[in-house]
Structure 1
């Protein structure tokens, strides 16, 4: 049927443009839709693209080369429309990225302040849950800024015990922040060590 349609299409156009168009529409709509959907993964958008293809065909039906394939012509129009769509989306994406990266400094500062406050609350809550000795060592390191050697002397512990307790404290904090939101983990570690 398609071969017959291809060979008789231009004769049909001269005799009855509407009938020729309707035959091509019925014969090729499904194939064009499948191709469009494969490229854009959206039913409505694929249907719109195919509709636009047939509008273009209707507008230029009398100008087509009688030696060419109607189906090839339709697929070429579809390909061009999809490329234009991707190009528009690319421009929109670049614009969206440029707009969203231009955050006012005050917004960045306030966002960082909120994030820092939230992380501090998470860390403080986890510190409260630590065993007493671990908590004591962690607070001496964090708040009093004592060295491992000083903490070991003050608490009559070995330096290795202090290191082990700090390591376990940091592991607990990392795990807690990771459970909360993995994107905050690095910032939390930085704050935990520098607060």
Structure 2
């Protein structure tokens, strides 16, 4: 569980992660002002809810997942979803606000826990940290094909575990910018 005891500790977290969050949002939005707003909202929320946030994995993974969630909420609000290739799901009409980010994050963590340890590492590196297949292969000293196979396997399991939640989550975990 994350405990932010004081402003200095919070500032340290901000200084360590703000660039990663900005980059992750900007890649998807290509709008500096909106990206800055989203990153600011995430850090304001982190500060305001510091006593109640329960992070089961890494802080970086939690924050990057928050970026993806906020970006998707923004895109939904702006009605800029492209539905090609999503089997006819009309994401604009999906009511995603019935699940808070916390609930969504907790359910995703439960689904990830169903994966083998190797699949968990690769899934987190790819889908949460946004690393490419090649980057993961180099970092773990395994073949690119092994990474692809593990990702395919893990995506099948996570999709099956999360199918009851919302189509928005499938976009969240499938999407790679």
| TM value normalised by structure 1 | 0.38
Higher helix proportion: 1
Q: Which has the higher contact order (CA 8 A, sep 6+)?
A: 2
In our comparison, the structure showing a higher alpha carbon Rg is 1
TM-score relative to the length of structure 2: 0.41
